[in-house]
A and B are shown apart, each in its own frame.
Chain A
Amino acid sequence: MTQKVAITAQNIIKAFGQGATALRALDDVSVDIATGEFFTLLGPSGCGKTTLLRLIAGFEMPTAGKILIDGADVTEMPPNRRPVNTVFQSYALFPHLTVAENIGFGLKMQGRPQAEVKATTAEMLALVKLDAMADRKTSQLSGGQQQRVALARALAPRPKVLLLDEPLSALDLKLRKEMQVELKRLQLETGITFVFVTHDQEEALTMSDRIAVMSAGKVQQVGAPRDIYTRPVNRFVASFIGETNFLPVTATQQGARLSTGDVIAAEGQGTVLIVRPEQLRLGPAGVGAGLAATVTGVVYFGTDIHVNLALSDGTSLTARVPSPVDGGADFTTGQPVAVTFQPGAARLIRE
């Protein structure tokens, strides 16, 4: 990945409505998206993902702040002059045109020569494996095929950036998995910068080069999937991505002191200690180090089991350990255990 910046959003504020009833859909958002990267906007419903995408596409104007594409200020530029294409959540295919005409639409509007329109359309049809469907009306296609047409239509003019607003949310699980692979392949083959919106954390983790986690109109954290999973900066990010145990602590010279009085070495700063369930180890009580805990419940998940625990002062914790079938130990409710953390697993975060 080159370090050239494709898109810069500078201190974007977007308010809907006026005065006291105004709603800040985006509240001082700044991100840099590198050229050629698969960048994902992840967050719960209503956090402003679509709004940010629409600002980049040019369908909305920011209340304050700037949008730069390849270093050029496009804040005031209308959408039809921006080198950016969108794959709409509802696809928004033109019902009066065939598959091929849909794909060629952007090139035609740009006034490219007919031969080029035809050649590029054929190339795109092959890229999304729809050669056989070129002359069909889009209403005769399945959801997955329509999705591909929408992709091909947006890719055909070779935009600098492709914006995708939850493009897979309308597909069933199996098709969604296929399209995830397909999208990733298209992105690698074309080398185009993808800005992808989803509220599915797994989708974000598996597909992205970098993720921006958003909440309530603010970007909470930007980073590679591993960074975000292993080093979340606050409680929102930690809880939105994966499962996490939150333990209130007080910082001391030796480390973080739990409510039970035990002191644990932890990286980071803050008053909350986080540790992922799969990073807990359970051993026999009274042997070696570890926090004393009691098993309060066991849930079988096939590949692993979730063991609910209570520390000596009643603080609850969950551990994810290998299933007994795979050679792990089994646990029963009421059993005393010693809980140890994998090295480096415990982190302190701000509330």
Chain B
Amino acid sequence: MSPAEQSQRRKSTRNGWLLSAPALTLLFLAASGPLLIVLVYSFLTPGQYGNVVWEFSLDGWVGILFTRDIFDGTTNLADAHLTIFWRSVKLSLMTTALTFALGFPTAWFIATRPPAQRAMWLFLITIPFWTNLLIRTFAINEVIRNEGLMNTVLIGAGLISEPIRIINTDTAVFIGMAYVYLPLMVLPLFAAIDRFDMKLLEAGYDLYASRLQVLRHVILPIVKPGIIAGSILVFVPSLGAYVTPRVLGGGKNMMIGNFIELQFGQGRNWPLGAALSMALLLIVMAALLIYVRASTKGNNPHG
């Protein structure tokens, strides 16, 4: 390439940037603006009736883990908060595990259908997305509540005499989240399995691997990027879930999302709510970082 051509090319690259500058600025503001507001609010003082007072304070961040006793002024670990965090993480991990256990065979099944049928199966998997999340969650509620479909049928069939009481428990939230997020696990798993060369199964069996060994040493390592992508796609929204724990968990079994909402509503502690939001964001970013690390490691030619 001649010097003239090079400078020409450089110029056109620069022009490209200039042309897209307005759009990029808008995108940047839209992405960072609300976040910045939340970040700033987390360092302010709560107002009397919600809102904030413009006075610097770390109470919001401290309040994530500690409470100040209103009588003697001592600071203690906030057990109630820890319970909520632990429930959120536990339920999210369990949801990820269950959606994987159900999603992997499903994705495998779809990926091994004749190509003409695959589109139809994928289409069926995405049907729940057509309905509003709230309505889907109420549908689950309808199925599992004490007088709901499941219990009516089981009692009617004489299999149980007392309804199985799972509504308003962690179990109900768990079932609901697994149902809601299952497609998010199936789709990336399908994409990974679809790319998997089925000849490798025969190569594995041919080289003395049992079915379990083929699964462990051939299939899982190769579809790992899909497993990680699916897990992140399920884990992240599970952690911030709001509707499902609200509808199926009753008022008591809060998750982080409900807890944040509480601070902006009845709790009237916007800085704490803002700090909790930022903390959730940090956890999610840490999870994504692990994802990027894990998924690039396998493909790194020098690693």
Contact = CB atoms under 8 A, between A and B. Distances in A.
B200 A94 contact: yes
A140 B199 CA distance: 20
B220 to A, nearest CB: 10
B301 interface: yes
Interface string B45-88: 00000000000000000000000000000000000000000000
A85 B204 CA distance: 10
Interface stretch (A102-110, A259-267, A283-291, A310-318): A102-110
A105 B207 contact: yes
Contact of B208 (A57, A80, A95): A80
A110 B222 contact: no
A157 interface: yes
A287 to B, nearest CB: 63
A78 interface: yes
Contact of B207 (A59, A96, A157): A157
Interface in B180-203: 197, 199-200, 202-203
Given A85-B207, A92-B197, A157-B207, A79 B202 contact: yes
A90 B199 CA distance: 8
A85 B206 contact: yes
Contacts of B13: none
Contacts of A154: 206-207
Interface in B199-218: 199-200, 202-210, 213, 217-218
A24 interface: no
A88 interface: yes
A86 interface: yes
Given A85-B207, A140-B301, A157-B208, A109 B222 contact: no
A86 B206 contact: yes
A81 B217 CA distance: 17
B209 A109 contact: yes
B199 A80 contact: no
Contacts of B301: 137, 140
Interface residues of B, number: 19
B298 interface: yes
A153 interface: yes
A285 to B, nearest CB: 61
Contacts of A157: 207-208
B172 to A, nearest CB: 39
A45 B257 CA distance: 63
A95 B210 contact: no
B221 interface: yes
Contacts of B209: 80, 105, 109
Contacts of A109: 204, 207-210, 213, 217
B222 A96 contact: yes
B215 to A, nearest CB: 12
Which of B204, B207, B217, B221: most chain A CB closer than 10 A? B207
Given A80-B209, A110-B208, A96 B298 contact: yes
A80 B205 contact: yes
Contacts of B199: 88, 90, 92
B202 A80 contact: no
A101 B215 CA distance: 17
Contacts of A92: 197, 199-200, 202-203
B205 A94 contact: no
Contacts of A95: 222
B218 A94 contact: yes
A80 B206 CA distance: 5
Nearest to B303: A137
A80 B222 contact: no
Nearest to A93: B203
Interface string B216-233: 011001100000000000
Contacts of B204: 105, 109
B218 A88 contact: no
A90 B298 CA distance: 22
B214 to A, nearest CB: 8
Interface string A141-185: 000000000000110010000000000000000000000000000
Contacts of A59: 202, 205-206
A79 B222 CA distance: 22
A78 B208 contact: no
A57 to B, nearest CB: 6
Interface string A70-93: 000000001111001110101011
B207 A106 contact: yes
16 contacts: A79-B206, A80-B208, A81-B208, A85-B207, A88-B202, A90-B197, A92-B199, A94-B200, A94-B203, A94-B218, A94-B222, A96-B222, A105-B217, A106-B207, A110-B208, A154-B206
Instruction: Rank and list the top 10 A-B pairs by shortest CB-CB distance, nearest first.
Output: A106-B207, A92-B203, A92-B199, A109-B209, A109-B208, A79-B205, A96-B221, A80-B205, A110-B208, A86-B206
Given A78-B205, A88-B199, 4 more contacts: A105-B207, A106-B208, A140-B301, A157-B208
